[in-house]
Amino acid sequence: MTQDGSDLVERARDGDEHAFVRLVEEYERAAYRVAARILNDPADAKDAVQEAWIIVWQRLEALQDVERFGGWLYRIVANVALRHRERRSSRQSTLNGYRALVGESVESMDVSTSQMTDEIEFLPAALEAVSARARLLINLRYFSRLSTRRIGRILGLPPGTIRSRLHRTRLAIRKEIERMTTHPTGREHVPHDFRKEEFRRQTWGGGWKPLFTGDLSGWDTLVQWDDVDKERYRPIAAGEVPENVEIVGNGLLLDGSGGGVCLATGDVRWHDMELSLLVTPIDGWCEINFRWDDSEGPYTRPWYFLSMHPGDATVAVQRNARGWVTPLSMVHYPSELGREYAVTILARADSITTYIDGALVNQVTDRHSPRGRISLGVSDSKALYRDIQYRALRLLPEVPEALAYRWESDDDMPEEFRLPAHTTEV
């Protein structure tokens, strides 16, 4: 790098926006070539480079050696492009599921291939017109690629019943597609997956990474003891699937019908982080724990959890301190068993915000748990969690003493944690 180039990087690192613009102009073409080699698509390559420049601006002050700026930039571009390619593969998998559904729904019908292709465009919207239970069957059969026998085992129904319900659902979807093509100005449906993908991509850009990719190595399972103080997490071995857990495509089916199931993953140092996943409550309620700092034991420090209760029609963000639960935001939110919801949790500094299907649900300010992992749980219930992705924006290697809330017993716990004095309802 020339002396002028080093000066530009140093000035940009110090916050000089004009210097940063000049860096973009100097490296734009080379960065584009890196992305284009990976993505083989001009439009996708431009999107990846734009996203990479945002990351560069956010992280430039962390670059120690300005002479290495070029290599550092190209690694960021390559990583962003690779993530774009992964997301493109995921969208292709979804498209294949639509094709399979359309193809099976037109068996024994005089429908041309071109007409089938056209109908794929209407499928996401048409799916919103059928019941939540019917959508769950479609998701399990065509997108998670499960057999009718396995679906029957999950839902507690005979395979014959699953086949007949799938047949009726396909007929209902075909009828909805015909209605939409015949009366295009009728009631509009917002495709569920579209809400999730567009909300995630347009609101925060890229940088999302999958937390589950088909194997539970790197995850822990909570070992249940009679004494709650002796509960602990046990690492899951490669290829192992714990009891009452089933891998369903890119998701996890947790069956806590006879008790509880809890799986944890992530980095205990996560401070500013965002979590996005698709949640289907099948029987009862489900919960997502976050900022769970279990470095000194599962219940040594407080943590937060988001719970969805279809029966009570509520969604709540709550704080748990050794079993003492304080509701921080409890919202009336009618939800259905068997329906899939796109859930996003943003935990930044003292702020916690949640979205469901792209709509704001909870907003909380609380500073009692500054960092931790995430875990998925059910208790006397059953739920499916899939397409689990995250973005870790900032780590907190050490917890400041002012925020180091920890205790070995209830006697050590301040009164504020034992009484829901900070409860607010939105």
DSSP result, 26-81: HHHHHHHHHHHHHH--HHHHHHHHHHHHHHHHHHGGG---GGGHHHHHHHHHHHHH
The CA-to-CA distance between both ends of the chain, in Å, stands at 55
The reply to whether 252 falls in a domain is yes
Backbone angles phi, psi at 302, to 5 degrees: -70, 160
Q: Could you read off the pLDDT of 58-92 as tens digits, one per residue? A: 888 888 888 888 888 888 888 888 777 666 555 55
The reply to whether 55 falls in a domain is yes
For 237, which DSSP code?
A: P
Q: What is the pLDDT of residue 370?
A: 86
Backbone angles phi, psi at 226, to 5 degrees: -65, -30
CB-CB contact of 106 with 116 (8 Å): yes
CA-to-CA dists, residue 239 to 67, 233, 242, angstroms = 44, 18, 10
Domain that holds residue 338: 195-418
Provide the CATH number for the domain around residue 280. Answer: 2.60.120.560
The reply to whether 164 falls in a domain is no
The reply to whether 134 falls in a domain is no
Which pLDDT band, with edges at 50, 70 and 90, does 385 fall under?
A: very high
pTM score above 0.85:
no
The reply to whether 175 falls in a domain is no
- Looking at the structure, tell me whether residues 374 and 231 fall in a common domain: yes
Which pLDDT band, with edges at 50, 70 and 90, does 304 fall under?
A: very high
Tally of domains in the chain: 2
Which pLDDT band, with edges at 50, 70 and 90, does 332 fall under?
A: very high
Q: Is the pLDDT of residue 411 over 80?
A: no
